[in-house]
Structure 1
C-alpha cells in the first residue's frame, strides 16, 4: 500500500465529515487507506464515520489520550509505505497527496513534507514552515520578532528545505516515523510536531515545504486560544527545551521568564463576528433553489463581490481545489467570509478566526 492517512479526531464531527470527503476524493487513484483515531468524542463523530465512511478504519479510544499517543496508535496500524498525519479540521485538494508523493520520490534522505496551509478566511498560515525554535529564536518571538521563528526564506508558494513543519499536515515514510520513535508521548498537545521535525533532522533526513499545494486548515477546532491553551503550549515548549537544549541554562531562564509573563498576561480572545452584507452561493448547478435561512444570490463562479459578502461554496458542484484557490486568491481588503455547503446539503461550515471555534449551520 502506498499511503495511510491518519486523522485524529476530538469532538469536531462536522469538520471531520468534510475532511473525510475531501480525503476520499484525493486518494481515488492511490492505493491508500484512511485511519481515524477518535479520542473519546461525545458529539456522535464515531457513529457518523461508521455510517457515512464504512471503508475508514476507526479506532475508538475510551479516553482522550492526547495528540502524540493517539496518532502513534493510528500509525501502528497503518499499512502504507507513506503516512500522512492530518488534522480533522482540514480540507485537502484532489491532487494534494499525488503531488506530494511525486515530489517525495525524487528526494534523497527524505524526512517530512509539509504543504501550504490557509485558514478559513483564505489567509496563509505562517506556521506552515518554521525554523527550529531554539531558546534565542523563542526569546525573539516572545518579545515580538517572529522573523527568526518562521521560515521566511521561502515564499508561501515556493518549494524548499525547512526545519519544522506543522502537525496539521505531515507526510513522511513510515520507516522514518518508526526510526525516530514517532511522536514523543511526553507531549499531550502542542509541540509534538516541532519535536518530531527536529528528531527527523537530527537523524540525518531533510524536511521539505511544498508550497505549490494548498489545503484549508480551519484551525482552533479542538481547543480555544485561552490561558489554558497558553499554559499547555508553553509547557510543551518547556519539554522541548529540556529535551534538546539543556546546555543553554542562562538563555533558558530568560525564556522561561518570558513564557510565564505571556501566560499571566494572556486573556481569552474576544469572539470575532464579521458583518455580512450579502450571501453569495457559488454553484455550477443550473437550477439552485435550495431553501436557506437567509436571502442569497447564486453565481457559477466567483468574480466580483461586494465588501463583507459571505461566500458559500457548493461542495456538490465544485472541486476542493477550486474552493481552496478561490479562498486563497480572494481580495482580503473586502473582508469576505467563507463557508462550504456540504454535498449532502445537511450543513454549512466555516471559520472566521483561528482564535475560536468555527461555525456550523445545520440545515436539516
Structure 2
C-alpha cells in the first residue's frame, strides 16, 4: 500500500467528520488507508461513524494515551510505505498526496515534510516552520516582547510562508514521511503526553542525518486546538513537555539548560497567574445565527461580499478550491464556514459549529 493517514482523535466529532471526508476525497488520487486511533473519547459515536465511513480502520483505546503513544500505535498498524500524521481538526486538498510523494522521492536524505497551515479565515500558523530551539530563540518565544530577531527567531522567518525550503522543526498537526524513517528515528517519544513531541521528532530526524522540509505551496486548514481545553491541566502538560525536551537535549550544556529551565518555570508561573485572574466564565463567543450565513454558489459571488459570514459548500467546491478561496479572500471582515457533504452543520472559527 502506498500511504497510511494516521489520525489521533479525542472528542470534537464534527471536526473529525469533515477531516475524514477530505481525507477520503484525497485518497481517490492515491492508494491508501485511514487509521483513526481514538483516545477514549466521550463525545464521538463510533458506531454511527463506522456506518458513515466503513472503510476506515478504527483503533479505539480504553484510556487517553496521549498524542505520542497513540500515533505510534497507529503507525505500527499502518500498511502504507508513506505515513501522514494528521490532526483530526484539519482539512486537506484532494491533490496533496501526489505532490508530497513526488517531492519526497525527489530529495536525498529527506526526513519529515510539513506544509503551510492556516486557520478557518486564512490566517497563517507561524509554527508551521520553526528553527531548532536554542536558549536565545526559546527565551524570546516564551517572552514575546523580547522577540526582536529575524535571523535567530523561534519561527523560521527567513523562509517565506509560500516557499519550499529545508526547515528543522515542523508541527505535529501535519507530518509526512515514510514508515521506515518514522520507525528508524523511534517515532514519537512516548514520554510526551501532548505538546513538544513534534519538536522532538523533528529534531530526532535532523540528528539522524535527515533534512526536514517545509512545503509552502501546499495549504492545509487547521482549526487548531479544537479538542484541547485550555485550563490548568493544559498549562501543566505543556510546560512539563518543555522540561522533557530540555532534559533530553540540553542537560549537557549547563548554561543553556539552566537559562531555559528558569525561563520555562517563570513563564509557567506567569501563565497560571494570568489564568487565575481572568474570568473565564465571562468570555463568550460571538454567536452567529444560521440565518446570518451567506452561502456562495460560485466564486464570482464572493468578490462583492463584505462583512459577511461566508459558507463554502464542499458539494459545490472541492476542498482544494475551498482552501484556495479562504487563502485568497482572507480578511478581518469575513468569517468563513465550511459545509461538508451530506452534513446538517457548518464549521467556522472559534470552535463554532452551527446546525442548519
Q: Provide TM-score, normalisation by structure 1.
A: 0.89
- Deviation of 1:331 after TM superposition, in Å, equals 4.2
- Deviation of 1:44 after TM superposition, in Å, equals 2.6
Residue matched to 2:98? 98
Instruction: Note the 1:141-290 alignment, pairs <5 A.
Output: 141-144=141-144, 145=147, 147=150, 148-266=153-271, 267-268=274-275, 271=283, 273-274=285-286, 278-284=292-298
- Deviation of 1:260 after TM superposition, in Å, equals 2.2
Q: Higher helix fraction: Structure 1 or Structure 2?
A: 2
Q: Secondary structure at the match of 1:260?
A: helix
Equivalent pairs counted in the alignment come to 342
Does the 8 Å contact 1:12/1:45 carry over to 2? no
Worse-matched range after superposition: 314-323 or 204-213 = 314-323
- Deviation of 1:5 after TM superposition, in Å, equals 0.4
Does the 8 Å contact 1:9/1:38 carry over to 2? yes
Worse-matched range after superposition: 220-229 or 77-86 = 220-229
Which runs of 4 or more aligned residues in structure 1 lie more than 4 Å from their structure 2 counterparts after TM superposition? 274-278
Residue matched to 1:292? none
Q: Secondary structure at the match of 1:28?
A: helix
Residue matched to 2:341? 343
Does the 8 Å contact 1:135/1:241 carry over to 2? no
- Deviation of 1:337 after TM superposition, in Å, equals 1.2
Q: Secondary structure at the match of 2:43?
A: coil
Residue matched to 1:13? 13
Residue matched to 1:113? 113
Residue matched to 1:360? 353
> 1:41-94 CA distances to partner (integer Å, 9 max, x unpaired)?
111342233111100011000010000110100000101110000000000011
Residue matched to 1:316? 315
Q: Secondary structure at the match of 1:332?
A: coil
Instruction: Give the whole-Å Cα distance in 2 for the aligned partners of 1:300 and 1:57.
Output: 40
Question: Structure 1: where are the runs of 5+ without partners?
Answer: 285-298, 353-357
- Deviation of 1:274 after TM superposition, in Å, equals 4.8
- Deviation of 1:359 after TM superposition, in Å, equals 1.5
> 1:17-57 CA distances to partner (integer Å, 9 max, x unpaired)?
00000000001021111100011111134223311110001
Instruction: Give the whole-Å Cα distance in 1 for the aligned partners of 2:206 and 2:284.
Output: 38
Does the 8 Å contact 1:93/1:321 carry over to 2? yes
Q: Secondary structure at the match of 1:204?
A: coil
Does the 8 Å contact 2:35/2:57 carry over to 1? yes
Instruction: Give the whole-Å Cα distance in 1 for the aligned partners of 2:284 and 2:131.
Output: 30
Pick closer, same or farther for the CA change 1:217–1:14 going to 2, 3 Å: same
Q: Secondary structure at the match of 2:106?
A: coil
> 1:252-290 CA distances to partner (integer Å, 9 max, x unpaired)?
223222222222222347646458695321125xxxxxx
Instruction: Give the whole-Å Cα distance in 1 for the aligned partners of 2:208 and 2:339.
Output: 44
Q: Secondary structure at the match of 1:160?
A: strand
> 1:146-181 CA distances to partner (integer Å, 9 max, x unpaired)?
741011111111101000110110000110001011
- Deviation of 1:229 after TM superposition, in Å, equals 2.1
Instruction: Give the whole-Å Cα distance in 2 for the aligned partners of 1:73 and 1:351.
Output: 31
Q: Secondary structure at the match of 1:105?
A: helix
- Deviation of 1:233 after TM superposition, in Å, equals 1.4
Question: Structure 2: where are the runs of 5+ without partners?
Answer: none
Does structure 1 residue 63 correspond to structure 2 residue 63?
yes
Instruction: Give the whole-Å Cα distance in 2 for the aligned partners of 1:137 and 1:223.
Output: 26
Instruction: Give the whole-Å Cα distance in 2 for the aligned partners of 1:305 and 1:157.
Output: 26
> 1:109-130 CA distances to partner (integer Å, 9 max, x unpaired)?
0100110000122100000000
Instruction: Give the whole-Å Cα distance in 1 for the aligned partners of 2:330 and 2:115.
Output: 22
Instruction: Give the whole-Å Cα distance in 1 for the aligned partners of 2:301 and 2:317.
Output: 10
Instruction: Give the whole-Å Cα distance in 2 for the aligned partners of 1:302 and 1:154.
Output: 31
Instruction: Give the whole-Å Cα distance in 1 for the aligned partners of 2:304 and 2:247.
Output: 52
Q: Secondary structure at the match of 1:116?
A: strand
Instruction: Give the whole-Å Cα distance in 1 for the aligned partners of 2:316 and 2:343.
Output: 12
Instruction: Give the whole-Å Cα distance in 2 for the aligned partners of 1:329 and 1:157.
Output: 13
